[in-house]
Chains A and B, each alone.
Chain A
Amino acid sequence: MGGRRTDDFEAFVDARGPRLLRVAWLLTGDAHLAEDLLQTVLARVWPKWHKIADGEPEAYIRKALVHTHASWWRRRWRGEVPHGELPDRAALFDAYEGVEQEEALAAAVRALPVRQRSVVVLRYFEDLSVEETAKVLGCAPGTVKSQASKALRALRAVVPEPVRTSDE
């Protein structure tokens, strides 16, 4: 890696990496896996950077994140196994304000089927339209709507407070 193309790429990663990492976290529900996923995708994107840099590289990478995560899921490399014993959260997280909420969200995300996760990421975190989401996922808009409804129900059940508008 060298030259201006590298500088552009690294500047992009520096600028947009934090947001893309959040997308990856929402897909994986795990900080380590999120970083792995992002680095994997960036490494795959780099050879094509000269083609996509002038377009919408973030959208391209976002799509790659979703599809790479789905492929990991299919290969069962997601490393998400039921925990036989749950940690004592009160003892664990006393010192870390907000970590408990983050853990709850991570658990809720991991409980979602991969397609629903993707829809949550694209529709509700990246704020894409139904049609745009369907295009990224390669499915019908109706599928996006149904998956979004299921995901909303699931998240409401697992993390009830955030979707109570009365609290907003």
Chain B
Amino acid sequence: MSDAAGDHTGNHDQADQERALREFLEREVPRLPASEDRMRGVRERIRRRRRRRAAAAAGTTALVGIAAAGLLLPGDPPAEPSFVPPAAAPTGTVFRYAELDGLSLRLPPGWHGTATRKDRMWGKAGPVAYLTSRDLPQPFATCPADVNGPCPPNRLTDGGSVLAAVSLDRSVALHKKIRTPAGFDTRMLGPYCRSLGAKRELYGLFAVGGATNSHPATAVVTLCTYGPATATAPLETALRQALATARITPSETNG
């Protein structure tokens, strides 16, 4: 279907460039691995659309429809634009980190969560929650009281492994740095992820629901991955969806 020659531009340079660009794109556009969650994600989106339409047909507002889908609960602050809303019918368990002001989130199915009371991330001691796509050793490795560095719970040793370390920040300034949509950026592999044997490090800021505008909550997430980006992309997506469910639930018990 190429018609570079048929464009009659008379510009051989452009035709060459077009040909080279085609070859380059075919060669360099990544062949991402098939997401095991793709059809599940599609089904969830279809269900959400149906629910929204059903709610609208029932005479309720779209906002109620969204709330019913678990995207915006009564008492929530105005919804922030979120590219990937939390799954409407998640199958993972809700994990609550009492150490982090009662931060709770719905883990992706098969993921594990745990927390330390004290860890040093970003040079500041404080509790850190861990989420990981693989089994954590039990009992969970504990940090010494005088820990002066990261307190790695595990080592990443297989290509599909990722581990996220989450700390909570309550500053307005950092909250303003949350990008829309929230997500991860790759950054230089630091000592924390390196200590886990990770090959790649990502960093992201995510808004946490249930906080006030004057005292917002930001989940500061460092994601360590072992495999190449193409292998861990579905896990990163699952984690972003989990982080979109993050809320401060101070009065609840561990779930």
Neighbour of A124 across the interface among B25, B189, B234, CB < 8 A: B25
Contact call B34/A152, Cβ cutoff below 8 A:
no
Q: Are A124 and B28 in contact (CB under 8 A)?
A: no
Q: Which of B31-48 contact A (CB under 8 A)?
A: 31-32, 34-35, 38-39, 41-43, 45-46
Given contacts A17-B34, A129-B2, A168-B20, contact A105 B28 (CB under 8 A): yes
B146 at the interface (CB under 8 A from A): no
Using a Cβ cutoff of 8 Å, how many contacts connect chains A and B?
155
Q: Would you call A77 and B81 a contact (CB within 8 A)?
A: yes
Known contacts A22-B29, A39-B38: A127-B230 contact under CB 8 Å: no
A35-63 near B? 1/0 per residue, CB < 8 Å: 11011101110110000000000000000
The chain A residue sitting closest to B24, CB to CB, is A162
* Interface membership of B179, Cβ < 8 A: yes
B83 at the interface (CB under 8 A from A): yes
Closest to B28 in A: A105
Instruction: Decide yes or no: A162 and B29 within 8 Å by CB, A87-B188, A91-B189 being known contacts.
Output: no
Interface string of A1-41 (1 = CB under 8 A from B): 10000000010011001100110011000111111101110
Closest to B33 in A: A18
Is A155 on the interface with B (CB-CB < 8 A)? Answer: yes
Known: A31-B32, A156-B17. A125 touches B38 (CB 8 A): no
Residues of A with C-beta under 8 A to B35: 35
* Neighbouring B residues of A31 by C-beta, 8 Å: 30, 32, 229-230, 233, 236
The answer, yes or no, to whether B18 is at the interface (CB within 8 Å) is yes
How many Å lie between the Cα of A79 and that of B205 in the bound state? 13
Q: Please pick, from A30, A35, A127, A159, the residue contacting B2 in the complex, using a CB distance under 8 A.
A: A127
Chain A residues closer than 8 Å to B7, beta-carbon distance: 130, 145
Complex interface: chain A residues within 8 A of B179 (CB): 79, 81
- Is A36's CB under 8 angstroms from B83's CB? yes
Q: How far does the alpha carbon of A44 sit from the alpha carbon of B42 in the complex, in Å?
A: 9
**A-B residue pairs, 9 tightest by C-beta:** A162-B24, A43-B45, A165-B16, A31-B233, A129-B3, A39-B41, A79-B181, A88-B188, A42-B42
- 8 A-B pairs whose Cβ atoms sit less than 8 Å apart in the complex: A13-B42, A14-B34, A77-B181, A81-B179, A130-B3, A131-B3, A162-B24, A165-B20
